[in-house]
Structure 1
Amino acid sequence: MTYDVHIIGGGLAGCEAAWQLAQHGYRVRLSEMRGSGDMTPAHQTDGLAELVCSNSFRSDDDERNAVGLLHHEMRRLDSLVMRAGEAARVPAGSAMAVDRDVFSAGVERALAEHPNVTVVRERIDELPAAGMTIVSTGPLTAQALAESVVRATGQDRLAFFDAIAPIVHRDSIDMDVAWFQSRWNKGDGKDYINCPMTKEQYLAFHQGLIDGEKIAFKEWEADTPYFEGCMPIEVMASRGVDTLRFGPMKPVGLDNPRDTTPEFPQGRWPHAVVQLRQDNKLGTLWNMVGFQTKLKHGAQVELFRTIPGLENAEFARLGGLHRNTFLNSPLVLDRQLRLKGGEHVRFAGQITGCEGYVESSAVGIMAGLMAAAELGGETWTAPPPSTAMGALLSHITGDAEAETFQPMNVNFGLFPPLHDIKKKARKEAYAERGKAEFGAWLATLDRVPA
C-alpha cells in the first residue's frame, strides 16, 4: 500500500489524526500493535480508541467550562471522537459519557469504512527515518519505541515517571495571607508565593498527610521506583514529623511581612511554608512546589484547603504520581508538533503532555490538520490562544516552563487572562471570547469541514 502519512498508535489521538487526513483526501496507514499479539498493561481489548479509564469526556457545558468549549471546537472541526461519542452517549447529566464498547466500535467502523485509511495491526519499534509520520502512542508507549524516541530527543527529554504537583489558579489564592518572596530575597522577589503555617497548623497538616486516603499503584506501576526528586509528599511525611520542614516546606529565609514583633522587626520565619511557583507565562497558574502525591483527589482538596491562603483554592490540576511516558514538548517540539531536528515526525495525544481523553483527541485533530496543510502546500495558522485548542497547543509547544513541564488538562488558566470582568462572570466571558475567535479562525481555513 502507498500512503501519504504513517500514523503510529490507534488511540484517540491517532484515530482523530487519521480521520482529519482522510477527510482531506490523503491516504493514511494507521499502525496499532494491539491485535498483532502485543498488548499494553492497561488495555483490555484490541479495539481502536479504547477508553482505558473512565467512560466520561467530562463537562459538555460550552458556556462556562473549558473542556465543554473544547468539545464545541472539536465538533466544529468534524471530530470523529465527538461523532462516535454522540452515537454512544449514555445519561450523565451535564457531562458527556459514553458506552465505551459502542464508542470504540463506532470509531473503528468509521475508519475501516473510509477508503483513505488502512489499519494495520503491527508493532513499530523505531521512529521512521523518512516519510511524514505522526506518533500517538500514548502514556504507555512500548519500550522499544520509547527508546527510539529517547535516542532522537535526548535522555532527559522523555519522562517515564510522572510526578505531578497540584496547580492552583492564581486568582483563588488569598494574598492577604500569602506573600511574594524568594528565599533570602534572591531573584526578583516575586518568584514564589508563600503560605505560612504555625506549629499547630503544620502538625495537623502533617497528620492529615499520614491519615489521608491514597490511590493504590496499578499493577504496571508497582515496580517503578521512587526517585528522591519526585518523592510523594506523604512518603516524606512518614519519615518523620520534621522531614517536610527540612524539605519542600522549609521556612528558612522567608520572613512573613504580616507577622512582626519587636524581636523580629522584619518579620520572622513561620514554622513551615508552602511555596507556589509560577507555572505558565501568563502568571495565571501556580504550582505547589514538591507536592506530588498519591492522595485521592477528594482528600487533596480537603487537606490542601487547610493551608493558610489556600482556603478557597481552585485547582487547575490535582497532584499525582504514576508511570507515564511524555515528551518535554516545549523543548523538543516546534509550534507544529514536529520533532526539532526530525521534522518529518509529529507527535500527538498524551505523549505530548496533554492530559485527558478530549485533550488528546484535540491534539490529534490539530496534528492531522497540520499534516494536511503541509501536504497541500498550505501555511498552517494555529487557533488563537484564547480558544481551547489554541491554549492547549500553546501550553504544549512553548508557554509552559520546560523545567517544570507536566501533563495538563485544558482549563481557563491556560487562556490569556481577562482582567476587567468580575470573577463570577469570567468563565462565561472566556467561553464567549473563545467561541467568537475560534469562529473567526475557522473562517480563514481553506477547507472547512461540512
Structure 2
Amino acid sequence: MKRSIPQQVYSFLVKAQQWYLDTPERSLEEAYKAALLIKAMEDEHFNGQKIAPGASYGGSAIAYFQSELQKHLKTIRMRLTEFKASRSWINPDYQNITKITKSDGTVTGKDSFAIQKRDNQSRILEKLRFIDDILAKYDPEATVDSVVVTESPSVSSDLARSEQIAPNGVVKNVSPAKKTKTKAETTSVLPRSILSTINRLKVELDPRAEDEVVNKFRNSQRRTFVSIRLILLLIIVPFLTQQLSKNLIISPIVDHFRNSQEVVIFLNSEMEERALIEMQRFEEQLKFRNLLNEEMQLSPLQIEQQMHEKVRDLVENFRQESSNAVKNVFADLLSVGAFTWLIVTSRKELEVLKEFMDNVVYGLSDSAKAFIIILFTDIFVGFHSTHGWEVLLGTASRHFGLPENRDFIFLFIATFPVILDAVFKYWIFRYLNRISPSAVATYRNMNE
C-alpha cells in the first residue's frame, strides 16, 4: 500500500505533464474544428459562399446563423491566441529522440525524428492555412499570419522554405512569413484625407454599391421590425394575459368561492385601520356640517343612520378590494408565465433585439448618453429616489393585499438603491469607460 501511493502520484504527474505539453496541438485542433463547422454551414446553407443575409432565409434564420458564426469565430481567436502563447514557452522538441534502426541499420533515431517533425509541421501549416482562409472572409485583419510557428533551430529552416511536403506527399507552396513593415514603409506619400476621398469615390462608382446599400438597408429594416415587434409582444402579451385571465377566468372563480362562504372583509390589519380612519373622518365631517347648519340640524337618529350607510359602503369597498388583491396574485402569476414563455421561445429574436439596442444606445452622442445616465441614476439611486421607492413599494403591497410594513420598506430603501448604485458605477468603470471614454468624461463634467 505504501508503494502504490507514490506510483499513483507519479502516474498523475506524467499525465499532467503530457496534457500541458499537448496544449499547442490541442488548441490548434479546437480552432480547426471551429473552422470546419463554419465551412460546413457555408456549404450546406450558403452554397459554399460567405455567411451573409440572402433571399432564401428570413431575419430569424440569419440572426441564428450570425450568432453561430460569431461563436465559432470567437473560439478560433481564443484558441489561436492560446496556440501562439503556448508555443512560445513550450519547447516543441519535448519528445525523446529514441534510436530507431532499420534492419539494414541505415535509419537512425535522429533521422526518424526529423521526418516525423517535418510531417507534423506540414499538418500544422495545412490547418493554419485552412483557418486563415476562413478568417479572411469575415475578419481580414485577424488572420493567422500573426501566429508564428516557433520551432527549434534544427528545423526552423523548413518553415522558411517556399515548398513543403504535405502528409499525402504532395508538394505545396508555402508563402514566407510577412516582413514587419517599418513606419517609413507604412506612411503613404499622399495625405490620408485624399486617400479616403479616393476610396469613397471608388465605392460610389462601383456598380455593385447600390445593391450593397439596398441589402444593408433591408437588413437594418428587418432587424428594426423584429426588435420593435418583440418589444411590443413583451409588453402587450403579459398585459392582455393579466387582464383577460383576471376578468374571464379568475374573477368568476374567486367570486363564487367568496360568496359561498363566510368572507373575511379585511385581509390584513392595515386595511382595517384605513377603514377606521375613513369612518372617523366621515363622522367628524358630519358633525361639523351639522353644527354649521343651525336651521336644519340632524337628529342623533339621522346621524346614526348615515353612519350605518357609510359603514355598508366601506364594507362593500374593502370587500371588493380584498377580492381584487386575491385575483391580482393569480393573474400576475399567469402574466409572469406568459412573459417567461416569450423569453424562452424568442431567443433568436432576443439576439436581434440586443444588437438593435446596442446600435441605438451606442449610436447616441456623448451628451445624450451622459443625459440618460444622469436621468436614470437620479430617478433610481438619487437623493430624492427614496420617496419614489416608498410609493412604489406601498402600491405593490396594496396591489397584492399585503400589509404595508414600514420597517421592510425603510430597510429596502436603505440597501437596494445603494447596491444598484454600486453596480451601475462598476458598469461605467468596467464597460462604458472602455467602449466610450468620451461619454464617461462628458458624464463626469455634467455631474459635477
Superposed pair shares fold, TM > 0.5 = no
With normalisation by structure 2, the TM-score equals 0.18
Higher relative contact order (CA 8 A, sep 6+): 1
Higher strand residue share: 1
Higher helix residue share: 2
Whose radius of gyration is greater, 1 or 2? 2
With normalisation by structure 1, the TM-score equals 0.18
